[in-house]
């Protein structure tokens, strides 16, 4: 075994990734792992969060020799401000996605588009009723107009509470009010965070952090939740079905199109276009056997959850998918899209297409998607892909691995249906200790880790302990490739969970969607807590993001903790330069909101920490640990 081979094995646990890393090396393509090497060691000031660049009296960096910035800010203030802005980035990402969904829904409601419509009208009526909108004897579009307006209100400054806060158990809402962290409006909380962290404003680290919790709650219970609920209304509420995952979903004899990003508004139309007979005929004219669509990252999750479209890979597979040399076109919307994809694509015949004015990439072609032209633009993109097919060099094509089967589509509605319409079987299973608890494992990849090692092993270890795992985002791909998203995987679970999964016909690891769909997990937690008459923080639940990288993941972790869910991270955010901020995250928040973070890079030790927490919660509920 040569040195290079060993290094490649250390980069990713997967065969498809390792083969493509070796091919990238042969083809002279640089990847995230190469660039990480060039960036390492990282700047310690940045890593610990004590570098401040928010005014031009600086930049300042805190050390023993220079403990204060020019303005007098200390490490605690600087770290809190930096982290507050980091969380604001995440909340803005999810929530702006949510706003785009409202705008789409609004356009449908006002008849401004023929390309989009309402797929799940029953859900729309249910949500409208939940939000106090009259529905009886009303035209569906009238209801939709009121619902769109109501959802826009959650982004503004005129409400005391965002739309879905009524789902939160009363005891927690009271706690949030007392602490001053009740989320009022998404944009308001984000703007206020930017204001607080301007030079000369909030110079109390704990106070800044509490606003971080409030802003993250606005993301979880409004921005993200609205994105999820409206995507279901527009494109359908997911129900269980089978799909496939890994680079083997690409097809050597077909035009391969990848969708990447987050918002189904683009990817759903691409899916419709690839199914049109005249475009398939055009592909055949160009020598292809057909058109193959596959997903990456979260828009891949959205299409897989609703339509069963296969998943090519997660975050660290995005460059490697292009290294197969078999992708004609990658079409993206926003978030988690490496700028390097333009360069990687240019090493092959792959064209990259952007669709959102807020996410353009130099070197990519821009095909702007708007509500009135979604279908026309989707057809244009698919035609562009077909035109690339004759340019493919078969000598440079290598599609590794056979795809792995998985089951997807576990919306809360589907889960409840699997249980006969009531959460009672789930609660009974928890009480009986057959299912000792549940953990949402969410988030990303990060080349600092061996790709998916922590994601996969944490999932495997938890199910062995009779803990149900729910996955979203890029962890889904890890669990799917590991063969854990099928009912048969229950044989790897503990005896209790195996029995429950067998009875319900579900896998021990449930796929609940994309990044914004972590809101489904919040909703499920609230549903169980309300059913039991306790707070979410009393339940034997936890969350984890073992290989996270993004601002959005930090915001998800923060809204999970603020909602009362103990949250594990594989590595800390850039906050360790402040004892106050780190102490609050790892301990102090527990006293305030009933949950805190824990940090552990080893998935086996992380399993123990999570298990210990679940034991503690079970005992407090008077249940066998």
Contacting positions for ligand SF4 (CB under 6 A): 52-55, 57-60, 69-71, 73, 78, 199
443 binds, among ligand SF4, ligand MSK, none (CB under 5 to 8 A by kind): ligand MSK
167 binds, among ligand MSK, ligand SF4, none (CB under 5 to 8 A by kind): none
Taking the C-alpha atoms of residue 325 and residue 347, their distance in angstroms, rounded to an integer, is 9
Query: Which C-beta is closer to ligand MSK: that of 262 or that of 618?
Result: 262
User: Kind and range of the H or E element at 467?
Assistant: strand 467-472
Residues contacting ligand MSK: total by CB under 6 A = 15
57 binds, among ligand SF4, ligand MSK, none (CB under 5 to 8 A by kind): ligand SF4
59 binds, among ligand MSK, ligand SF4, none (CB under 5 to 8 A by kind): ligand SF4
Taking the C-alpha atoms of residue 341 and residue 363, their distance in angstroms, rounded to an integer, is 10
Query: Which C-beta is closer to ligand MSK: that of 288 or that of 442?
Result: 442
Query: Which C-beta is closer to ligand MSK: that of 101 or that of 515?
Result: 515
By the 8 A CB rule, do 435 and 427 touch? no
315 binds, among ligand MSK, ligand SF4, none (CB under 5 to 8 A by kind): ligand MSK
Before 231, cis peptide (omega within 30)?
no
Residue 254 CA from chain centroid, whole number: 29
Taking the C-alpha atoms of residue 276 and residue 379, their distance in angstroms, rounded to an integer, is 9
Of the candidate residues 205, 298, 386, 510, the single one contacting ligand MSK (CB under 6 A): 298
Query: Which C-beta is closer to ligand SF4: that of 45 or that of 164?
Result: 45
Which x/- pattern over 535-554 shows residues binding ligand MSK (rule: CB under 6 A)?
Answer: ---------------x-xx-
Least separation in angstroms between residue 65's CB and ligand SF4 is 15
User: Does residue 304 touch ligand MSK according to CB under 6 A?
Assistant: no
Least separation in angstroms between residue 46's CB and ligand SF4 is 14
Query: Which C-beta is closer to ligand SF4: that of 57 or that of 289?
Result: 57
60 binds, among ligand MSK, ligand SF4, none (CB under 5 to 8 A by kind): ligand SF4
Nearest CA to 332 out of 297, 290, 280, 304 is that of 297
Q: Which residue's structure tokens are 């980091």? A: 86
Nearest CA to 581 out of 43, 55, 62, 94 is that of 62
Least separation in angstroms between residue 67's CB and ligand SF4 is 11
User: Does residue 473 touch ligand MSK according to CB under 6 A?
Assistant: yes
404-433 in b/e burial notation, b at 16+ Cβ within 10 A?
bebbbbbbbbbbbebbeeebebbbebbeee
431-460 residues in contact with ligand MSK (CB under 6 A) are: 443-444
Which alpha helices (DSSP H) does 131-257 contain, by range? Answer: 140-153, 170-179, 186-196, 205-218, 224-235
Query: Which C-beta is closer to ligand SF4: that of 71 or that of 131?
Result: 71
What single DSSP character describes residue 609? Answer: H
326-345 residues in contact with ligand MSK (CB under 6 A) are: 336
What single DSSP character describes residue 184? Answer: -
Of the candidate residues 315, 379, 388, 617, the single one contacting ligand MSK (CB under 6 A): 315
Which alpha helices (DSSP H) does 433-534 contain, by range? Answer: 453-464, 475-481, 495-504, 518-532
Taking the C-alpha atoms of residue 77 and residue 202, their distance in angstroms, rounded to an integer, is 8
Binding site for ligand MSK (CB under 6 A): 262, 297-298, 314-315, 336, 443-444, 473-474, 514-515, 550, 552-553
């Amino acid at each position: 075994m040569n040195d290079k081979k060993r290094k490649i094995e250390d980069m990713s646990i997967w065969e498809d990734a390792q083969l493509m890393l070796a091919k990238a090396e042969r083809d002279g393509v640089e990847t995230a792992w190469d660039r990480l090497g060039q960036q390492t060691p990282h700047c310690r000031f940045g890593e610990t969060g004590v570098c401040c660049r928010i005014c031009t009296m600086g930049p300042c960096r805190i050390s023993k020799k220079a403990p204060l910035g020019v303005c007098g800010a200390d490490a605690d203030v600087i770290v809190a401000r930096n982290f507050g802005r980091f969380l604001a980035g995440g909340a803005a990402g999810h929530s702006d996605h949510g706003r785009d969904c409202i705008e789409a829904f609004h356009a449908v409601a006002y008849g401004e588009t023929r390309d989009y419509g309402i797929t799940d009208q029953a859900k729309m009526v249910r949500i409208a009723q939940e939000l106090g909108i009259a529905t009886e004897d009303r035209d569906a579009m009238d209801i939709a107009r009121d619902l769109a307006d109501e959802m826009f209100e959650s982004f503004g400054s005129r409400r005391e509470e965002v739309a879905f806060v009524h789902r939160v158990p009363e005891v927690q809402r009271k706690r949030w009010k007392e602490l001053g962290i009740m989320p009022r409006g998404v944009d308001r909380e984000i703007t206020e965070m930017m204001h607080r962290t301007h030079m000369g404003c909030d110079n109390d680290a704990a106070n800044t952090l509490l606003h971080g919790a409030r802003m993250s709650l606005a993301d979880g219970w409004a921005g993200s939740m609205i994105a999820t609920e409206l995507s279901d209304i527009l494109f359908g509420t997911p129900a269980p079905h089978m799909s496939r995952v890994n680079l083997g979903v690409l097809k050597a004899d077909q035009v391969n199109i990848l969708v990447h990003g987050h918002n189904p508004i683009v990817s759903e139309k691409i899916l419709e276009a690839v199914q049109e007979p005249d475009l398939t005929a055009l592909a055949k004219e160009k020598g292809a056997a057909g058109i193959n669509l596959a997903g990456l990252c979260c828009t891949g999750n959205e299409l897989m959850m609703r339509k069963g479209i296969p998943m090519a890979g997660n975050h660290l597979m995005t460059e490697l998918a292009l290294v197969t040399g078999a992708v004609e076109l990658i079409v993206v919307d926003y978030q988690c899209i490496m700028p390097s994809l333009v360069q990687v694509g240019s090493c092959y015949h792959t064209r990259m297409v952007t669709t959102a004015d807020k996410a353009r990439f130099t070197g990519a072609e821009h095909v702007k998607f708007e509500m009135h032209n979604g279908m026309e633009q989707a057809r244009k993109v698919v035609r562009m892909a077909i035109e690339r097919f004759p340019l493919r060099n078969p000598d440079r094509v290598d599609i590794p691995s056979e795809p792995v089967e998985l089951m997807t589509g576990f919306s809360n509605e589907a889960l409840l249906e699997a249980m006969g319409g009531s959460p009672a079987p789930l609660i009974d299973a928890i009480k009986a200790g057959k299912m000792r608890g549940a953990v949402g494992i969410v988030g990303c990849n990060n080349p600092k880790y061996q790709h998916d090692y922590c994601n996969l092993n944490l999932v495997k270890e938890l199910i062995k302990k009779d803990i149900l795992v729910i996955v979203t985002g890029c962890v889904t791909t890890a669990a799917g490739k590991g063969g854990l998203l099928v009912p048969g995987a229950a044989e790897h679970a503990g005896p209790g969970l195996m029995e429950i999964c067998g009875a319900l016909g579900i896998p021990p690891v449930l796929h609940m969607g994309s990044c914004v769909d972590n809101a489904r997990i919040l909703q499920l937690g609230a549903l169980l807590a309300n059913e039991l008459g306790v707070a979410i923080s009393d339940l034997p639940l936890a969350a984890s993001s073992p290989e996270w990288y993004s601002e959005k993941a930090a915001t998800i972790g923060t809204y999970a903790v603020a909602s009362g869910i103990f949250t594990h991270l594989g590595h800390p955010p850039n906050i360790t330069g402040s004892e106050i901020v780190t102490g609050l995250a790892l301990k102090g928040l527990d006293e305030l909101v009933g949950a805190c973070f824990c940090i552990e890079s080893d998935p086996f030790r992380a399993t123990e920490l999570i298990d210990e927490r679940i034991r503690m919660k079970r005992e407090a509920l008077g249940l066998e640990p």
